[in-house]
């Protein structure tokens, strides 16, 4: 399969999953099955996985790339804007209740805040898939595969913590991935965005978010706090680490 065809695998699989939900067991039954199965693993594991999909964690992970590859600054900016517009726009239009607002609380596990509104789509899932799509433009598919598996686990974690239906996760994966692809494609096309001032602004924006993540941000998942701070610390250190220029032996 060619690279140009592979980029459509994520939205295609997500649409297939949505169709399977519709014609199969349905959203509530699948949610309960996944949530119950996930309860066999530690709650801290799911809290840490779900934190990977947090927007500020994504900022910290992108920060070193924004330093070493300033040409992707425009892609990051566009992907962030497109992901936010997609997630919050669809949430507002769909206005779907979350599992906590529909099902008996005793019937499933809730880890972290008991959110009730704004179910569709999953913002955490959209964020992590947009992040992987952005990195996919910089990495070969062999290195991208583990990141896709991690993104899928982040999506599953949103069901495990009781925050989202399976349909929310699938829609988040498809929308986030397409937002990341669109941000990359538009940045390559609109060369006017490849300006040093814009690059510096994006870097400053990512740094501000990363510092907030390290110092006072509350994701409401206390088990994930060490991971959040570690991601922030690593992002800052790698960003400010001197870039070694490659030399060629005579």
Domain ranges of the chain: 3-240
Helix (H, G, I), strand (E, B) or coil at 220: coil
CB atoms closer than 10 angstroms to residue 179:
26
Nearest to 158 by CA among 98, 79, 95: 98
Distance of alpha carbon 182 from alpha carbon 176, whole angstroms: 10
Residue 174: both structure tokens together: 């498809």
Q: What is the pLDDT, as a whole number, of residue 250?
A: 42
Q: What is the pLDDT, as a whole number, of residue 7?
A: 84
Q: Angle formed by the axes of helices 141-160 and 123-136, to 10°? A: 180
Q: What is the pLDDT, as a whole number, of residue 104?
A: 92
Q: What is the pLDDT, as a whole number, of residue 89?
A: 97
Q: What is the pLDDT, as a whole number, of residue 140?
A: 75
Q: What is the pLDDT, as a whole number, of residue 245?
A: 53
Q: What is the pLDDT, as a whole number, of residue 128?
A: 97
Distance of alpha carbon 154 from alpha carbon 115, whole angstroms: 17
pLDDT along the chain (250 residues), means of 10: 72 94 91 97 98 96 83 88 96 95 93 94 97 83 88 98 98 97 90 82 94 95 97 95 57
Query: What does R_g of the chain's alpha carbons equal in angstroms?
Result: 19
Q: What is the pLDDT, as a whole number, of residue 135?
A: 84
Q: Is 69 exposed, middle or buried (0-12, 13-18, 19+ CB in 10 A)?
A: middle
């Amino acid at each position: 399969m060619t690279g140009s065809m592979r980029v459509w695998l994520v939205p295609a699989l997500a649409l297939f999953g949505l169709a399977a939900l519709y014609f199969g067991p349905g959203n509530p039954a699948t949610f309960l099955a996944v949530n119950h199965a996930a309860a066999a693993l530690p709650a801290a594991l799911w809290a840490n996985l779900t934190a990977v999909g947090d927007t500020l964690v994504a900022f910290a992970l992108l920060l070193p790339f924004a330093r070493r590859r300033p040409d992707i600054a425009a892609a990051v900016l566009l992907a962030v804007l497109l992901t936010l517009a997609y997630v919050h726009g669809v949430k507002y239009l769909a206005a779907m209740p979350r599992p906590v607002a529909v099902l008996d609380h005793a019937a499933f596990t809730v880890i972290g805040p008991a959110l009730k509104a704004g179910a569709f789509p999953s913002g955490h899932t959209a964020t992590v898939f947009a992040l992987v799509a952005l990195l996919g433009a910089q990495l070969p598919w062999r290195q991208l595969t583990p990141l896709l598996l991690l993104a899928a686990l982040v999506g599953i974690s949103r069901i495990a913590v009781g925050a989202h239906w399976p349909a929310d996760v699938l829609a988040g994966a498809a929308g986030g991935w397409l937002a990341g692809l669109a941000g990359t494609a538009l940045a390559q096309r609109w060369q006017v965005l490849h300006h040093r001032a814009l690059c510096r602004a994006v870097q400053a924006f990512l740094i501000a978010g990363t510092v907030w993540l390290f110092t006072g941000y509350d994701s409401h998942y206390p088990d994930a706090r060490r991971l959040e701070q570690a991601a922030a610390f690593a992002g800052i250190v790698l960003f400010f680490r001197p870039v070694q220029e490659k030399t060629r032996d005579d």
